Structures are given as C-alpha cells and as structure tokens.
Amino acid sequence: MTDEEITAAALSDPDALPMTEEQLARAKRVNIVKGIRQRVGMTQAEFAAAFQLPLATVRDWEQERSRPDAPARALLNAIARDPEVMRRLINGHAA
C-alpha cells in the first residue's frame, strides 16, 4: 500500500482513526526499558541484578539520559520475549 492508501484506509475506519497532533502531544509515552521492567514485575535494582546490568545504567536508560546500544537492545528484546529463560541463561542455570 502507498502512504496515501494507508491514510485513506485508516481514516475510513471510525474505530481506528489516527491521532491528531494535539492528541499525540498529550499522549503519555512509556520508556521501552521501563515497560519491559514493569512487565516482568521488578524494581530497577531487581532488574539490574537479575540480568547483570549496572543499576546506574538501567536508571540512565529509564530516565533517558542515555540509550541502550545495539547489543543492549538485543538483550532487552530477548528479556521482553522470555524473561525467565534469559535470567537462567545469564546467571548460568541451564534448563
């Protein structure tokens, strides 16, 4: 689909209208790292310890003072997909 077709399709569905600029400006954006951490139900300290990350780094990512680099993003994606498996792998506990 072209951009124009996508826009036309979105505008034709009253239940899925695109947000206006004003709505986008008011929308609360959740930090991806914080979202993953909250989904696994951990504090920053617990998350850092479980996945062997420096606590200061987790805090910096969540407060957007820095951004995860490519390897860190790959780790975060793996944690988001299966946190228990990743915790076992990182901490040396197979199966």
Q: What is the pTM (predicted TM-score) of this model? A: 0.69
The number of distinct structural domains making up the chain is 1
Examine the pLDDT at 17 and tell me if it is beyond 80: no
* Position 14 in a domain: no
- Tens of pLDDT, residue by residue over 38-94, are 999 999 999 999 999 999 999 999 999 999 999 999 999 999 999 999 999 998 876
pLDDT, residue 95, reads: 57
Give the mean model confidence (pLDDT) for residues 24-39. 90
CATH number of the domain that residue 54 is part of: 1.10.260.40
Q: Which domain holds residue 78?
A: 29-90
Examine the pLDDT at 21 and tell me if it is beyond 80: yes
* Position 34 in a domain: yes
Q: Are 30 and 41 in contact (CB under 8 A)?
A: no
First to last CA, the chain: 44
